[in-house]
Amino acid sequence: MKELTISKKLILILLSFILFSACSENISYNDVIKLSVNDIVNTPTNSWFKTEMILYNPDTNITKQIISNFDVNKNKVYLFADFSCGCNNQQTDIAHLCKVFANCSIPETNYEIYSVKSKTSKHPYTSLFTLYKIPECVVMKDTNAVYFMLDTMRYYEVFGQTIPIEQLLLNGLKK
């Protein structure tokens, strides 16, 4: 009779552990870190980021259009990259986009930067959109993902076309 009680206790402990693990997975973002531009610039391994921001000169005709199309009440941009690795050239696009934000006086409350380990990392907006590749920049209108900037860039690069990051942002804002 005692063995049955021990078996029941083991089953209850196992079920409790599974339930606890399942709940904690839903709210855990262990491999995702929200960063500010200053956080990135002040990290010694990301010295390239500040250099890329300084050297990039966005097209002023396009930035003027961004200023007139960016609605701080409706638009947000979410940027995702693995900042622990400088192995992807497209990460420079994130630095260039941050320069565009600065030139257009877009407040940091309208864009968020996340360091993620992979495209499958759970991030705060997992319920709104899926990342298919990182790095990625997602333009939002209200709570809808309307444009995946770097995914679009990668598509056009296949055909040998280059689109400036500020044009991609403007395209997303017009959606």
Enumerate residues 6+ apart whose C-beta is below 8 A from 63: 100, 103, 104, 166
Residue type present at position 57: N
Here the tokens at position 100 are: 């565009």
pLDDT band of 90, cuts 50, 70, 90: low
Residue 117: give its domain's CATH number: 3.40.30
pLDDT value for 26: 35
Q: Which of 10, 104, 123 is nearest to 58 (CA)?
A: 104
Structurally, the chain folds into a number of domains equal to 2
User: What's the mean pLDDT in 16-43?
Assistant: 63
Determine the Cα–Cα distance for residues 41 and 20; give it in Å rounded to an integer. Answer: 38
Residue 1: domain span: 1-28
- Lowest mean pLDDT segment, chosen from 6-20, 46-60, 92-106, 158-172: 6-20
- Both 118 and 64 in one domain: the answer is yes
Residue type present at position 18: I
pLDDT band of 30, cuts 50, 70, 90: low
Determine the Cα–Cα distance for residues 119 and 100; give it in Å rounded to an integer. Answer: 24
pTM (whole model) above 0.85: no
- Both 22 and 45 in one domain: the answer is no
Determine the Cα–Cα distance for residues 98 and 172; give it in Å rounded to an integer. Answer: 16
- Both 47 and 6 in one domain: the answer is no
- Both 127 and 72 in one domain: the answer is yes
Q: Which of 113, 70, 62, 124 is nearest to 91 (CA)?
A: 113
- Both 139 and 106 in one domain: the answer is yes
- Both 48 and 10 in one domain: the answer is no
- Both 88 and 140 in one domain: the answer is yes
- Both 6 and 37 in one domain: the answer is no
- Both 23 and 35 in one domain: the answer is no
- Both 88 and 111 in one domain: the answer is yes
- Both 6 and 45 in one domain: the answer is no
Q: Is the pLDDT of residue 24 over 50?
A: no
